[in-house]
């Protein structure tokens, strides 16, 4: 029976682990929203709407096939067949492979939020917190390294929905910036009030630099990336310490405004030609 085809190995594993996301998909809309909250208990998962289980099953299946076959060689038809759903059903939840990658972004962001909890709960030193946050991202992203480079050429296109600066990537982007906001707020470092709103975005941008390096890093165990994370954390901590001096704060704001003006997606189109200033909108939407 069609209903039984959904109970595959992946589906059973997801239900047991409690990773079925809570958000549902409104009729006629494509949405990817992996909850950053702890997953429901197995009992709650068993009673979750079948549509949620199906959506998660399709996403999990796609991630597995991307790893096994590569992004370019995996088709929506193959994903649907492996998940035990119709091709039309797969397209109902995800309009294409790009939307599945958005699901990947959200999944990584949610897993990262959970993975950083120990270091953020334990450490108050800014360097230790930042290094721990960056290392946690490298840890959870490692299983996906082999296929990451394949879709990066699409993500590098500023007009692509896979761009980290795109409107479609906003959910994952905001989740990542929130981690850096908490990172700063819980540290013993003295952060000037006028920089508290822009530093989280700048830390996220530095993380994007690490991600770019990670995509092309072929060192064993990505050890060069881990060294870059540690050295970057040390350098950033020194920069934040220097920002305590009022004479250097305008420089920090100017660097932020440079990103706002020239990186796609960091500001609204209608404000892109306006003069820079402290109130210029950035990545975060409040």
Cα distance between residue 38 and residue 22, in whole Å: 10
CATH 1.10.10.60 fits 2-95, yes or no: yes
Q: Which residues contact 69 (CB under 8 A, 6 or more apart)?
A: 78
Q: What average pLDDT is seen over the chain?
A: 78
- pLDDT score, position 48: 55
- The fold for domain 101-271 equals Tetracycline Repressor; domain 2 (1.10.357)
pLDDT tens, 266-275?
554 443 443 4
Under the banding of pLDDT at 50, 70 and 90, the label for residue 5 is very low
Domain extents for the chain? 2-95, 101-271
Which residue blocks in the chain are alpha helix, DSSP H? 2-5, 9-17, 42-46, 50-69, 76-83, 87-93, 97-115, 117-122, 126-141, 145-155, 170-185, 199-216, 223-242, 249-262
pTM of the model: 0.71
């Amino acid at each position: 029976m069609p209903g039984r085809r959904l109970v595959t190995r992946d589906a059973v594993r997801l239900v047991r682990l409690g990773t079925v996301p809570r958000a549902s998909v409104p009729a006629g809309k494509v949405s990817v929203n992996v909850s950053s909250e702890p997953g429901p208990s197995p009992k709650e998962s068993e009673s979750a709407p079948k549509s949620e289980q199906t959506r998660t099953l399709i996403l999990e299946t796609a991630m597995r096939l991307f790893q096994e076959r590569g992004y370019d060689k995996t088709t929506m038809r193959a994903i649907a067949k492996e998940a035990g759903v119709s091709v039309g059903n797969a397209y109902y939840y995800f309009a294409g492979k790009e939307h599945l990658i958005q699901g990947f972004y959200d999944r990584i962001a949610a897993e990262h939020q959970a993975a950083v909890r120990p270091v953020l709960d334990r450490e108050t030193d800014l360097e230790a917190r930042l290094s721990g946050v960056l290392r946690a991202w490298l840890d959870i992203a490692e299983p996906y390294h082999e296929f990451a480079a394949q879709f990066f050429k699409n993500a590098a296109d500023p007009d692509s929905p896979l761009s980290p600066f795109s409107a479609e990537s906003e959910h994952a982007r905001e989740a990542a910036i929130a981690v850096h906001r908490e990172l700063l707020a819980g540290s013993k470092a003295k952060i000037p009030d006028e920089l508290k709103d822009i530093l989280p975005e700048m830390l996220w941008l530095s993380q994007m630099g690490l991600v770019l390096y990670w995509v092309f890093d072929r060192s064993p165990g990505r050890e060069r990336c881990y060294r870059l994370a540690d050295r970057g954390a040390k350098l950033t901590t020194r920069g934040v310490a220097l920002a305590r001096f009022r004479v250097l704060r305008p420089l920090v704001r100017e660097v932020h405004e440079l990103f706002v003006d020239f990186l796609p997606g960091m500001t609204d189109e209608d404000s892109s030609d306006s003069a820079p200033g402290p109130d210029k909108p950035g990545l975060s939407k409040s």
